């Protein structure tokens, strides 16, 4: 389980995250919602150690990882798919995925696990194509596969539906649901597309002005009026 306890973060004199707390249990998709600029991406960067937190704790299976570097957090079991995907455009699909296995040693680092190609068949078809030649939706699938290659305990996704055609959004949704139901990892999903988030949410956290304003079970989102709460 990933636990975030009373996390605070500042940019200069601006208080960006204010005592943010939530839990992301294994076997569940935990959705973080909020309008643009409320601190969602900052929160994810703090989870990964890209940005240091001013105070609070980030715990993974009860261990405080708040002071660890991004590389150390990957070794502990975090994997991050950032907004914009950040794939290596000049490397092949296969080479991109192998980079996600850098925390391992030996022969394991030289072959892409077959189950990743089973999850995303289009990547198997295009494994010798350069990443930059893929469509936006295919690049998103590649970014998720690269993150999964590290065999994470926690998969962190920042707006995976952004700029992607509906058919691939459905494919990504099915993959996220399958991964959560597999019971081997926790998923933290930041998402602007409300319908996608509601469909996948086992639990939700709503942020506004850097702080948590609502939390609950995903099934409660319609009756709690969460759509209106996060409407732009």
Listed in sequence order, the residues at least 6 apart from 151 whose beta carbon sits closer than 8 Å to its beta carbon are: none
Rounded-to-integer distance, Cα 150 and Cα 197, Å:
24
pLDDT value of residue 85: 73
**Predicted confidence (pLDDT) per residue in 33-75, tens digit:** 998 889 999 999 999 999 999 999 999 999 999 999 999 999 9
Q: Which of 16-20, 160-164, 215-219 has the lowest mean pLDDT?
A: 160-164
Domain ranges of the chain: 2-230
pLDDT digit string, tens, across residues 196-232? 999 999 999 999 999 999 999 999 999 999 999 888 6
Per-residue pLDDT at 170 = 92
pLDDT at 124 over 90: yes
pLDDT, mean of residues 10-22: 92
96: Cα within 13 Å, side-chain hemisphere: 33
The predicted model gives 11-26 an average pLDDT of: 93
Quickly name the fold that domain 2-230 has.
Answer: Rossmann fold (3.40.50)
* Contact call for residues 156 and 83 (beta carbons, < 8 A): no
Q: What are phi and psi of 96, to 5 degrees?
A: -60, -45
Residue 117 confidence class, pLDDT cut points 50, 70, 90: very high
Residue 17 · residue 43 · CB < 8 Å: yes
Q: Is 64 left (phi over 0), alpha (psi -120 to 50) or beta?
A: beta
Query: What pLDDT score was predicted for residue 232?
Result: 61
Q: Answer whether residue 78 shows pLDDT above 80.
A: yes
The answer to whether the pTM exceeds 0.75 is yes
In the predicted model, is pLDDT for residue 93 greater than 70? yes
High-pLDDT (> 90) share of the chain, %? 84
| Contacts of residue 130, Cβ cutoff 8 Å, sequence gap at least 6 | 89, 90, 91, 92, 93
Q: Report the alpha-carbon distance of residue 119 to residue 141 in Å, rounded.
A: 9
């Amino acid at each position: 389980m990933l636990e975030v306890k009373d996390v605070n973060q500042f940019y200069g004199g601006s208080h960006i995250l204010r005592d943010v707390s939530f839990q992301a249990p294994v076997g569940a998709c935990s959705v973080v919602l909020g309008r643009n600029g409320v601190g969602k991406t900052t929160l994810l960067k703090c989870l990964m150690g890209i940005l240091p937190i001013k105070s609070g704790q980030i715990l993974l299976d009860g261990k405080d990882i708040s002071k660890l570097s991004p590389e150390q957090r990957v070794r502990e079991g975090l994997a991050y798919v950032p907004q914009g995907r950040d794939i290596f455009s000049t490397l092949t699909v296969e080479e991109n995925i192998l980079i996600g296995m850098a925390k391992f040693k030996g022969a394991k680092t030289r072959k892409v696990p077959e189950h990743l190609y089973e999850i995303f068949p289009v990547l198997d078809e295009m494994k010798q194509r350069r990443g930059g030649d893929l469509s936006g939706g295919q690049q998103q699938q590649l970014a998720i596969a690269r993150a999964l290659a590290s065999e994470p305990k926690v998969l962190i996704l920042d707006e995976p539906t952004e700029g992607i055609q509906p058919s691939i959004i459905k494919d990504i949704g099915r993959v996220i649901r399958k991964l959560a139901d597999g019971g081997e990892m926790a998923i933290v999903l930041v998402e602007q597309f409300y319908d996608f988030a509601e469909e996948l949410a086992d639990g939700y956290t709503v942020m506004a002005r850097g702080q948590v304003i609502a939390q609950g079970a995903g099934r409660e989102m319609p009756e709690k009026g969460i759509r209106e709460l996060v409407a732009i």
